């Protein structure tokens, strides 16, 4: 999203598009934290520390401006859309050498222990007969598989 915005100068137009339903603001909002996600504060500080070592990513300036505008704009404040932990973590992952295509996997790895704990709790709760996860797979359908030794 930050790369698509391109520069700090483009942030106001991007915000207008999001408000008009023509764009999507990623890395904002959380179903539990209805105010600023406290983890986002920590990860933002860590991003600055990482960039002291790796060099500043120009996308950080776009992120900071996007956050600044969103925190002051009634549209986002009324909807309680504040940066979440993933907003700055992608920049850190990129500084570590990960490609953006890997970000979803990296986000999931950190959440896996919590998902497993919830699953175990569900199994122990005899009153809960069935699980109905709300995740809907939207990815590719069946794909051909080539065994490793034939690649």
Nearest to 93 by CA among 37, 140, 27, 14: 27
Residues involved in catalysis: 30, 86
What are the 10-residue block averages of pLDDT along the chain, 151 residues in total?
94 94 86 75 92 91 92 89 87 92 91 86 79 72 89 91
The per-residue pLDDT for 131 is: 66
Each residue's pLDDT tens digit, 14-39: 999 999 999 888 888 776 667 777 88
Note the pTM of the prediction, 2 decimals: 0.71
CB contact at 8 A, 84 and 40:
yes
């Amino acid at each position: 999203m930050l790369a698509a915005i391109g520069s700090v100068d483009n942030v106001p137009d991007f915000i207008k598009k999001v408000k008009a339903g023509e764009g999507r603001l990623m890395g904002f909002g959380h179903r539990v934290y209805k105010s600023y996600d406290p983890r986002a504060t920590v990860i933002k500080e860590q991003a600055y520390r990482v960039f002291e070592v790796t060099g500043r990513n120009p996308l950080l300036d776009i992120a900071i401006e996007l956050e600044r505008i969103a925190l002051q704009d009634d549209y986002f404040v009324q909807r309680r859309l504040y940066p979440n932990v993933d907003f700055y973590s992608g920049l850190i992952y990129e500084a570590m050498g990960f490609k953006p295509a890997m970000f979803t996997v990296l986000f999931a790895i950190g959440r896996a222990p919590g998902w497993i704990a919830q699953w175990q709790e569900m199994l122990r709760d005899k009153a809960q007969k069935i699980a109905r996860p709300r995740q809907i797979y939207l990815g590719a359908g069946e794909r051909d598989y080539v065994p490793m030794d034939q690649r």
